Chain A
Amino acid sequence: MKDERQRYILFKIITDDAENFNQKVLINSIWHSIWKYFGMKEAPKIGLWLVELNVLKCYGIIRCSHITKEIVISALTMIQEISDKRIILSPIKTSGTLNKIRQYLK
């Protein structure tokens, strides 16, 4: 069996109000979006993990399996609201290593 590789996705957070925004709220809404658009068939394959969330600098990094990269990007793209506040989670960079993502951020 082939090993499952990981992908790190860097995304930008664009919102007017980031005050009530935390890791728990974010991960819940990403899961909600995955369930809503892709259902139980795809959800177990993802292996979603929130690596970092920086509300001040408006970015976040999530980890997922390489097969489900496009699904996670779609799920992030389809999120329109979190806690009744309009928001955009825009994936900007995908990489196989966290170091590359960090280099991109610098």
Chain B
Amino acid sequence: MSYFESRLGLNFEDLDRIYHVLKFCEELNINNLILEPLNNAKYFHEDLFHKISENTKIKLFFRFNIKPKTIKEFKKEIKFYQKFPNIISLETQVKEIQLKAAKDSRVHVLSFSDPVNMKTITPGLISLAKQNETFIEFSLAPIMIKNRALQSKNFRILYRFIQLILRMKPKFIISGNFDSLYDIRHPRNLCSVCHTLFGIPLEQAKNAFSKNVEMLLAKVKSKEGNKFIQPGVRLIKGDKLI
């Protein structure tokens, strides 16, 4: 089973730093990595992505995270990012945008990496995401902090969030999303943390780090070239039988 670190934010203007981080990940035996450009994502091209991919043994994928504050902003950003053949995730505290994004097939992932965002999730939103096969993502970064009081608080928020997810059974992925280099962990080890500390069944935890991410990537790939209409419907050009 190959495991994915589904979110690692990097500044794409600093290539040396990127290569340093990738080397560190190689040392940790991470095989699959999804990178997220932290700033000025609009100015990056596929060439840069290919250049980075060629210089490492790790299988790289890319994602864009949008953080709109209004619905108008959301519409504008999603229109821009939909042309990229990469994962598009949304992270916001505004409920209206979350609901709109859960219905929108252009948004692949609803991300809840921050404890403040986690508190905004509702069973209604999860149900909507489940119907539209949108993935729900949460990160383990909030539990890797030094301050014990804050760590306990984040544990509780994450625990409640996970129990809700397990009850509603949507498709979900778990990411690290660590800021510091020394916080990064191998996804298999994070599976153990999810299993022992948050009560996620081991098989489900493993799926959240591997199978579900593979499914997400397959979904993104199927949309490449605008051939995708909706799940189960495919446009075949030049076939007279249709």
Contact = CB atoms under 8 A, between A and B. Distances in A.
B144 A70 contact: no
- List of 4 A-B pairs having minimum Cβ-Cβ separation, nearest first: A73-B192, A86-B182, A77-B189, A74-B196
Given A77-B185, A88-B182, A91-B189, A70 B29 contact: no
Interface string B186-200: 101110110111000
A88 B185 contact: yes
A18 interface: no
B189 A73 contact: yes
Contacts of B185: 77, 88, 90
A87 B202 CA distance: 26
Nearest to A91: B189
Contacts of B189: 73-74, 76-77, 90-91
B13 interface: no
Interface residues of B, number: 20
Interface in A62-86: 70-71, 73-74, 76-78, 80-81, 86
Nearest to B144: A80
A12 B186 CA distance: 11
B191 to A, nearest CB: 8
A92 B29 contact: yes
B193 A78 contact: yes
B202 A90 contact: no
Contact of B186 (A38, A81, A90): A90
B183 interface: yes
A74 B194 CA distance: 9
Contacts of B184: 88
25 contacts: A12-B27, A12-B29, A14-B27, A14-B28, A14-B182, A38-B196, A70-B192, A70-B195, A74-B193, A74-B195, A74-B196, A74-B197, A77-B193, A78-B193, A80-B146, A80-B182, A80-B183, A86-B182, A88-B28, A88-B182, A90-B28, A90-B189, A91-B186, A92-B29, A92-B186
A37 interface: yes
A78 B143 CA distance: 9
Contacts of B183: 80
Contacts of A38: 196
Contacts of A76: 189
A40 to B, nearest CB: 16
